[in-house]
């Protein structure tokens, strides 16, 4: 515990000097009144410290046990102190990955819920998964005169587990799979498109002529067409790159966290639609892999394993990771690959690695658009530095487009989307491939 005079005590002592000077000029024999005033303030400060002494200050914290990446949550701190003390301030220090509103070290506005209890609230926003905690709490109070401030600090013990962002499941997932929407979607997926034969139906104007069954039409002496439904029990593999490039932040949140969030929503949709899913992460080597899971009841397993995907500072080895994945897959699968590239050499190796997978599998390449590069390339330059920045950003975007065009020429599906639209765009692309019978 530390003690220090407050601004009120310092001003009161400093005021003695001009007062003693005036008295010394007017009544020279009474100039010592200034010293008496200083001694009086010092004695009052000592008395204030004794009255505000709090040997057993008790405080407690309240925070949620779990929160999602990017989700703002509240930590409440309650301090109990003697009735003669006056709590002035509560401060906290947090981890670098936690943003405290409005700053890392916040002076909390206090409200008194009882004569001897004060409460302050801090709003934290995590930018990474893991264990989030307030590292240290400082409580500062004064005596009833407000002349001496006392301060005590302690380590907070509560921890909040930061999990992958599953908020899209609560909003977009529920909206996509409401009762009526689910029935309509399943009907659309099961009938009219796909590669599994459903039934014969009378040919109608506007139907695909390639669906005509000429033998059945000859037997029944009327035009009949085959009706198909989308195949279920497909295998979907969500491969997430957790290397150095994907660990970089995008709009305040790491790219790998945005990929994990989108993969969880798409996995939930795939399990709902009767397909099987597998989660796979890698950087310089494979890291996390689940078995092939089916049924919506297995989604908590996917969510738990997704939380184990760590941030890595190592360069991604696409050839090693994807060849290892190819060896483990025993049937044709849709591989949804979340990754990024920063240089032409790494992009060339990535293209070669994904090209091998096309011999047996369907590969959907998911790339997050870099909004910073877009803004630099399109901004109106004002200085020489702006021109250099715009030229560099344009060159990087051109290299990126060249790699994407090369991937599409090889036959890969490429989805490049803004992070705000990635969730719905990914599910829409997955449903499109399912309806076309590509899986």
Write b or e for each residue in 390-405: b if 16 or more Cβ atoms lie within 10 A of its Cβ, otherwise e: beebeebbeebeebbe
- Residue 290: inside a domain: yes
- What is the DSSP secondary structure assignment for residue 436, as one 8-state letter? T
Q: Report the C-alpha gap between 345 and 348 in whole angstroms.
A: 5
What's the rounded Cα separation, in Å, for the pair 279 and 265?
12
Claim to verify: residue 235 and residue 221 sit in the same structural domain:
no
Residue scoring higher pLDDT (298 or 174): 298
Both 311 and 223 in one domain: the answer is no
Is the same domain home to 224 and 140?
no
Model confidence pLDDT, tens digit, residues 9-59? 888 888 877 877 777 777 777 777 778 888 888 898 888 888 777 666 677
CATH number of residue 87's parent domain: 2.60.40.10
Q: What are 254-269's pLDDT values in tens digits? A: 899 999 989 998 999 8
* Predicted local distance difference test score (pLDDT) of residue 287: 92
- The C-alpha atoms of residue 204 and residue 199 are separated, in whole angstroms, by 15
Distance CA 275, CA 299 (A): 12
Listed range (225-239, 257-271, 414-428) with the worst mean pLDDT:
225-239
Arithmetic mean of pLDDT over the chain: 80
For residues 406 and 319, state if they share a domain: yes
pLDDT at 189 over 60: no
Is the model more confident about 420 or about 120? 420
Give the C-alpha separation, 197 to 139, whole Å. Answer: 72
In a domain, 82, yes or no: yes
Asked whether residue 23 falls in the same domain as residue 145, the answer is: no
Which residues form the domain of 124? 58-163
pLDDT value of residue 175? 61
Do 284 and 148 share a structural domain? no
Distance CA(330)–CA(338), nearest Å, equals 21
pLDDT tens digits along 302-321: 988 888 888 998 989 988 99
**Both 260 and 215 in a single domain?**
no
| Number of domains, the chain | 4
Mean pLDDT on 54-72:
78
Strand 111-114, strand 98-100: pairing: unpaired
Residue 74's H or E segment, with its range, is: strand 73-80
Q: Compute the distance between CA of residue 244 and CA of residue 342 in angstroms, rounded to an integer.
A: 10
Locate 298 and state its tokens.
């297995």
Angle, helix 422-435 to helix 255-272, in steps of 10 degrees: 40
β-pair partners for 335: 237, 363
> CA-to-CA distance for 371 and 368, rounded, in angstroms?
9
Q: Are residues 264 and 287 in the same domain?
A: yes
Higher pLDDT, 336 or 119: 336
Q: CA dist 423 to 78, 166, 264, 427, Å?
A: 40, 11, 9, 7
> Both 17 and 124 in a single domain?
no
Q: Is 87 a member of any domain?
A: yes
- Say yes or no to pLDDT of 103 above 60: no
Residue 158 belongs to what H/E stretch? none
Shared domain check, 221 and 176:
no
Tell me the Ramachandran region of residue 296: left when phi exceeds 0, alpha when psi lies from -120 to 50, beta otherwise.
Answer: alpha
Of 333 and 154, more confident: 333
pLDDT class of 100 with cuts at 50, 70, 90: confident
CA gap 185, 416 in Å, rounded:
24
Beta bridge partners of 235: 276
Residues 256, 357 share a domain: yes
The H or E element containing residue 183 is: helix 179-190
Integer CA distances (angstroms), 347 to 292, 294, 315, 382, 406, in order: 29, 33, 12, 33, 10
Query: Do 210 and 134 reside in the same domain of the chain?
Result: no
């Amino acid at each position: 515990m530390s003690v220090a005079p407050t601004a009120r005590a310092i001003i009161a002592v400093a005021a003695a000097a001009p007062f003693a000077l005036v008295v010394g000029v007017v009544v020279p024999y009474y100039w010592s009144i200034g010293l008496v005033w200083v001694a009086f303030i010092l004695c009052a400060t000592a008395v204030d410290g004794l009255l505000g002494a709090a040997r057993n200050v008790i405080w407690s914290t309240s925070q949620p046990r779990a929160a999602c990446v990017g989700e703002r949550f509240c930590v409440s701190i309650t301090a109990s102190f003697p009735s003669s003390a006056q709590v002035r301030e509560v401060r906290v220090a947090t981890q670098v990955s936690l943003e405290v509103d409005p700053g890392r070290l916040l002076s909390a506005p206090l409200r008194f819920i009882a004569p001897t209890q004060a409460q302050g609230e801090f709003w934290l926003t995590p930018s990474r998964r893991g264990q989030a905690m307030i590292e240290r709490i400082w409580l500062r109070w004064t005596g009833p005169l407000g002349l001496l401030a006392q301060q005590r600090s302690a380590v907070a013990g509560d921890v909040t587990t930061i999990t992958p962002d599953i908020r899209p499941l609560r909003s977009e997932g529920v909206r996509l799979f409401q009762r009526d929407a689910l029935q309509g979607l399943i009907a659309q997926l099961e009938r009219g498109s796909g590669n599994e034969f459903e039934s014969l139906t009378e040919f109608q104007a506007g139907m695909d002529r390639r669906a005509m069954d000429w033998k059945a039409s000859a037997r029944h002496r009327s035009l009949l067409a085959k009706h198909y439904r989308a195949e279920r029990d497909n295998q979907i593999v969500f491969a997430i790159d957790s290397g150095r490039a994907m660990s970089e932040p995008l709009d305040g949140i790491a790219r790998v966290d945005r990929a994990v969030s989108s993969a969880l929503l798409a996995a939930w949709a795939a399990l709902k639609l009767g397909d099987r899913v597998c989660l796979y992460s890698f950087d310089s080597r494979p890291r996390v892999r689940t078995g092939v899971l089916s049924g919506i009841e297995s989604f908590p397993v996917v969510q738990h394993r997704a939380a184990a995907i760590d941030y890595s500072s190592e360069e991604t080895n696409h050839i090693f990771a994807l060849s290892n994945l190819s060896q483990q897959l025993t049937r044709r699968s849709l591989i949804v690959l979340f990754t990024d590239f920063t240089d032409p050499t790494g992009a060339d190796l990535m293209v070669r690695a994904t090209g091998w997978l096309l011999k047996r599998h369907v590969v959907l390449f998911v790339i997050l658009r870099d909004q910073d590069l877009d803004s630099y390339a399109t901004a109106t330059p004002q200085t020489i530095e702006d021109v250099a920045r715009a030229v560099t950003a344009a060159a990087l975007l051109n290299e990126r487009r060249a790699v994407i065009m090369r991937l599409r020429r090889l036959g890969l599906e490429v989805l490049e989307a803004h992070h705000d639209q990635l969730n719905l765009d990914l599910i829409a692309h997955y449903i499109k491939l399912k309806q076309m019978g590509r899986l």
